Structure 1
Amino acid sequence: MKKCLSLLALAATLLGTVVQVAGDTPTIRAVADEWPPFSGAGLPGRGLSLDVITEVFARAGYTVESDVVPWARIMDGARRSEFDVVGSLFLDEELTAFLDYSDPFYATDVHLVQRTGETYTFTSVPALRPYTIAVGDGFLYEDEFDRADYLNKVFVTTTLQAMQMVAFGRADLTLDSVDVVNYAMRILDPTLASQLEIVPGALTSQNIHMAMRNDFPNRDQVLGDFNAALADMRADGTLDAILDRHVGD
């Protein structure tokens, strides 16, 4: 028996394939950046995204180890196969060069944020030319806005910093998911609730996904298992229960 297993292992090595004992699955390393309520080191389940990812994979028969790390490290680690799954993602065509996206598990609207009493209304990206807009460095919001290098963008590290800049009059506007904005005003800095308000008119509605590095062993099977388990959890109400823990009223 040992000899047969050794020969199989040798053959697998020579062929450059991965052999797994029946019933044995790899531990999936999932990461996301600090972006509450979608992900955060101090959040229950490390946030909505990593909580969903862990629970869906568990139903599909996989074990997940999750962590919250800076975005730059996530991108480097995913390219070097240090991390297997990235959570809290909007769809971005550039990332599909090395990541394969799952089906979405949440949707959120992206809005501008203004000081209370201002009268902005979003109509188009070009109409934002006159304003100073605080944005997260490396953040993705909406394709046209992200490409608009003619806008006066001031780069910061977090959405909370951007919102505080607007509150203090150092920028005219900022933007993010309404879930992120509301979390910041409710939990991170409640003083902002009286100083800021969401601008009418959404820039876009974005789906939240996870994505797996495209060189992960048996990637198609694993993604298929994830999507099937996600569909089951959506149908039986388990997904809604998880989402309510993070963004419910």
Structure 2
Amino acid sequence: MKKILIISLLISLSCFSRADTLYLTSLEWPPYSGKKLINQGASVAVAKAAFASMGHELIVEFYPWSRAVKLASDDKKYAGYFPEYSYESDDFVFSEPMGKGPLGLVQQTGNPIKWNTISDLTQYKLGVVQDYINTAELDGLIASGRISAQAVVSDDKNVQKVAAGRIDAAVIDQNVLKYLLSNEANLRKLADKVEMNDRLLVNKDLHIAFENTQEGKKWRDIFNEGLKKIDVKAIMAKHL
């Protein structure tokens, strides 16, 4: 019996020694991520649950978006950043989807923009958030100058500009707009002035972007395995 207890203790200690703490960066992007949100937001709750299911602890540190991405690339403390849409990159590798985000356009209530294809948006002045990935086609038309777009540092700024008629519409996640209009004091008064356009750009998968290194790929694989052990949809639904 004593020998069995010793063996069990050694196994337990061995498992404990393999548990690691992982650091990722994120941004204030409620309801998906935010320092003061319940469980730090829907995407953070999913990420922490997935890593916990594999015996690891996740610590998320929050920065402005551009800095969050840069730190994930330059600072060895961090293995990556999230939530992010997948895109072509030499610097990062992407996890399996950890939820979805309905990406569309916020417009003035009673003054909807009309479009069927992305190229129809060339007739409008749009707002985007600096360094956000949208869709390849939309970002390409903006980069070429065919779509007139103004960049701001956060979604709330675009909502204010749409409400004031300074731009025709702005790219935004539908859940983000809903949260902002319900919870941000300076935007509640705009709830009857703006609305989502009926047509979505895309219902985009959300991912963790891990640094494209051996260490980053190791954590990506651990996270992907952890996703299989949790109910992603239920966790997301609880926080959205």
- TM-score, normalising length: structure 1: 0.82
**Gaps spanning 5+ residues in structure 2: where?**
1-13
Shift of 1:211: 2.2
C-alpha distance in 1, partners of 2:224/2:62? 23
Match of 2:25 in 1: 31
From 59, 64, 67, the equivalent of 1:70 is: 64
1:41 aligns with 2:38: no
Deviations 1:21-56 (A, max 9, x none): 983333110111221111112211221112211111
Aligned length: 221
Structure having greater relative contact order (Cα 8 Å, sep ≥ 6)? 2
- Which letter does structure 1 place at the counterpart of 2:83? S
Matched-pair contact (CA < 8 Å) for 2:113–2:169: no
- TM-score, normalising length: structure 2: 0.85
- Which letter does structure 2 place at the counterpart of 1:127? D
Shift of 1:221: 4.2
Matched-pair contact (CA < 8 Å) for 1:85–1:213: yes
Match of 1:139 in 2: 132
Deviations 1:189-212 (A, max 9, x none): 222221011112111121011122
Match of 1:184 in 2: 180
- Which letter does structure 1 place at the counterpart of 2:209? A
C-alpha distance in 2, partners of 1:197/1:131? 16
- Which letter does structure 1 place at the counterpart of 2:54? A
Q: Counterpart of 1:155 in 2: which secondary structure?
A: strand
Deviations 1:77-114 (A, max 9, x none): 222223113111111113xx122211102112211111
Match of 1:89 in 2: 84
Matched-pair contact (CA < 8 Å) for 1:84–1:216: no
From 166, 171, 184, the equivalent of 1:170 is: 166
Matched-pair contact (CA < 8 Å) for 2:126–2:169: yes
Q: Structure 1 segments of 4 or more deviating over 4 A?
A: none
More off after superposition, 162-171 vs 103-112: 103-112
RMSD: 2.0
Q: Counterpart of 2:103 in 1: which secondary structure?
A: strand
- Which letter does structure 2 place at the counterpart of 1:140? I
